């Protein structure tokens, strides 16, 4: 997920385009010069010497142009994209967090991929869904991340819990109770009052068949009651209310917790944690795998006054998202690739990614199913409900009823 700048795995990348010189790190809107194309992304952690910047520059050269790259924080990028479009000076190509796509489409900022001759047919349907509105894709994902449960094998062994026995909420709660009885700590997650809190709550919400257009239905109440019960019984710490995904991971990394809900991006940190660990999918209420939300960015082509620029922009997008470059980029970003062919290559190179490929396979976009720009409003009310219930201020039913009313009132 990119609402928080995740810890990036510092993996050296060797692409087919490796060894190229880095592009410049500064830039602005589209250059009038046909030989320079502007590119914005949300990766300020990658300077001009990074493998990512070198790939962007090389894809430009392959298309016969120079790419001028500018990196912004995620929120800043979305705001600047809207402003640049209003001023008639958008970048030629832009990499944006997937929930932002629908906002930019509504503002008339982005082209359909089909209109600029970029194919998305090889992308897995649930991953492209986060950038699809009314049946049209407005970007190409460079990869996806999602959530699962990391577990500490030493803590589970001490409690005589077999992780393979965890198949639903009842068996997970029973495992947490055994861990607590053995002197260990149960589960940590992020329930903070930001998008991170909603992101982490969604697998449980969807795992109970919750509906984001009906926050207070039975599924939503069941999911929030589960989390509230864990906190009330000491199976999860009170500080989940203020935990970000990073601080939640830091708790799990102490080695005292049996489970930590976190993302693909923590795999390298898990391997350095100093205790044996594993990964299981987040279970749905009555069994099976709960859908988790997809995180990740989409390469998009903003609308330009000069449509003759699109063919070159399309070449750069195709280069950034071809199989060879997806494999190296997704290794760098600790992402799961958006195509089945590259996912298979990832697992062949690193078998530890297999449970993550499985998790991404069942994931869904937060703005999918027609939610689009309604999602941010709904998400804010959802995290408010989680905060109200877990802090003891309201019952899950009352908290979600208030959230649903606020979301509806905002719509009207």
If you search the block for the tokens 């900022």, which residue do you land on?
109
pLDDT at residue 309 in the model? 95
Do 192 and 177 lie in one domain? The reply is yes
User: Is residue 173 pLDDT above 70, yes or no?
Assistant: yes
- Does residue 10 form part of some domain? no
How, if at all, do strands 147-152 and 277-280 pair?
A: antiparallel
Residue 76's pLDDT is 87
Please compute Rg for the chain using Cα positions: 22
- Both 334 and 281 in one domain: the answer is no
Q: What is the DSSP string of 303-353?
A: --S-GGGHHHHHHHHHHHTSHHHHHHHHHHHTPBPSBHHHHHHHHHH-GGG
Task: Work out how many domains the chain is built from and give that number.
Answer: 2
Whether residue 404 is contained in a domain is answered as yes
- Do residues 130 and 100 both lie within one domain? yes
Name the token pair of 73: 């924080």
Domain carrying residue 268: 147-292+371-411
pLDDT at 30 over 70: no
Angle subtended at Cα 325 by Cα 321 and Cα 329, rounded to the nearest 5 degrees: 95
Q: How confident is the model over 297-312, as a mean pLDDT?
A: 95
Instruction: Based on the fold, state whether residues 217 and 333 are members of the same structural domain.
Output: no
**Contact (Cβ atoms closer than 8 angstroms) between residue 161 and residue 179:** yes
Check whether 31 has a pLDDT greater than 50.
Answer: no
* 173's tokens: 């709660």
Say if residue 241 is in the same domain as residue 333. no
Q: What percent of the chain has pLDDT over 70?
A: 91
CA 322 to CA 31: how far, in whole Å?
A: 26
Q: pLDDT band for 1, please (50, 70, 90 cuts).
A: low
In angstroms, the CA 216 to CA 211 distance is 9
In a domain, 81, yes or no: yes
One domain, residues 202 and 284 = yes
Report d(CA 200, CA 220) in Å as an integer. Answer: 14
- Percentage of the chain exceeding pLDDT 90: 83
Output DSSP code: residue 411.
Answer: H
Confidence of residue 310 (pLDDT cuts 50, 70, 90): very high
Claim to verify: residue 356 and residue 382 sit in the same structural domain? no
pLDDT band at 410 (very low <50, low <70, confident <90, very high): confident
- pLDDT above 60 for 328: yes
Q: Give domain status of residue 252, yes or no.
A: yes
Q: Are residues 152 and 132 in the same domain?
A: no
Would 169 be classed as within a structural domain? yes
SS3 per residue for 64-79:
CCEEEEEECCHHHHHH
Same domain? For 92 and 105 the reply is: yes
Q: Are residues 249 and 314 in the same domain?
A: no
DSSP assignment of 86-119, as one string?
HTT---SEEEEETTHHHHHHHTT-B--GGGGT--
Domain check: are 197 and 263 in the same one?
Answer: yes
**CATH number of the domain that 195 lies in?**
3.40.190.10
Under the phi-then-psi rule, with left for phi > 0, alpha for psi from -120 to 50, and beta for the rest, what region is 395?
A: beta
Query: What pLDDT score was predicted for residue 372?
Result: 87
> Residue 16, Cα to own-chain centre: how many angstroms?
27
Mean pLDDT of 401-407: 97
CA distances in angstroms from 283 to 27, 207, 362, listed in the order given: 45, 7, 12
30 vs 48: CA distance, rounded Å? 19
- Examine the pLDDT at 355 and tell me if it is beyond 60: yes
- Same-domain status, 113 and 172: no
**Residue 311: both structure tokens together:** 């063919």
Strand (E) or helix (H) holding 378: helix 375-390
Per-residue pLDDT tens over the stretch 86-103: 999 999 999 999 989 999
Give me the pLDDT at residue 370, please: 83
Asked whether residue 96 is assigned to any structural domain, the reply reads yes
The one-character DSSP state at 119 is -
Is residue 93 a contact partner of residue 301, using CB atoms and an 8 Å limit?
Answer: yes
Q: How many residues does the chain have?
A: 412
């Amino acid at each position: 997920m990119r609402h928080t700048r995740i810890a990036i795995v510092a993996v050296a990348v060797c692409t087919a385009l490796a060894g190229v010189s880095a592009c410049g790190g500064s830039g602005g809107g589209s250059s009038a010069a046909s030989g320079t194309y502007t590119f914005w992304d949300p990766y300020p952690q990658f300077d001009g010497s990074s493998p990512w910047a070198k790939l962007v520059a090389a894809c430009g050269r392959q298309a016969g142009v120079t790419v001028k790259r500018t990196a912004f924080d995620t929120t800043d990028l979305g705001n600047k994209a809207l402003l640049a479009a209003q001023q008639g000076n958008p970048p030629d190509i832009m990499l944006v967090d997937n929930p932002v796509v629908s906002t930019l489409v509504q503002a008339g900022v982005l082209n359909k991929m089909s209109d600029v001759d970029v194919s998305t047919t090889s992308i897995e349907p649930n991953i492209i869904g986060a950038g699809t509105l009314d049946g049209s894709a407005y970007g190409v994902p460079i990869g996806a991340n999602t959530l699962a449960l990391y577990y500490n094998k030493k803590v589970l062994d001490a409690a005589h819990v077999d992780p393979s026995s965890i198949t639903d909420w009842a068996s997970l709660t029973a495992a947490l109770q055994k861990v607590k009885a053995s002197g260990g700590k149960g589960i940590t997650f992020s329930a903070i009052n930001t998008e991170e809190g909603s992101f982490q709550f969604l697998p449980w919400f969807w795992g109970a068949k919750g509906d984001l257009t009906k926050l207070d239905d039975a599924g939503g109440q069941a999911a929030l009651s589960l989390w509230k019960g864990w906190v009330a019984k000491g199976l999860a710490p009170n500080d989940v209310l203020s935990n970000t995904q990073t601080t939640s991971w830091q708790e799990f990394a102490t080695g005292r917790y049996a489970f930590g809900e976190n993302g693909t991006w923590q795999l390298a940190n898990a391997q350095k944690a100093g205790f044996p660990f594993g990964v299981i999918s987040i279970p749905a209420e009555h069994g099976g795998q709960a859908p988790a939300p997809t995180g990740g960015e989409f390469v998009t082509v903003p609308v330009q006054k000069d449509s003759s620029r699109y063919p070159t922009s399309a070449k750069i997008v195709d280069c950034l998202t071809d199989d060879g470059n997806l494999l190296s980029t997704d290794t760098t970003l600790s992402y799961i690739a958006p195509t089945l062919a590259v996912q298979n290559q990832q697992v062949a190179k690193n078998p530890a990614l297999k449970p993550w490929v499985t998790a991404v396979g069942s994931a869904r976009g937060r703005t999918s199913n027609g939610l689009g720009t309604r999602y941010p409003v709904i998400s804010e009310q959802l995290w408010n409900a989680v905060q109200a219930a877990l802090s003891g201020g309201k019952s899950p039913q009352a908290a979600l009823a208030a959230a649903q009313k606020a979301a509806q009132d905002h719509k009207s």
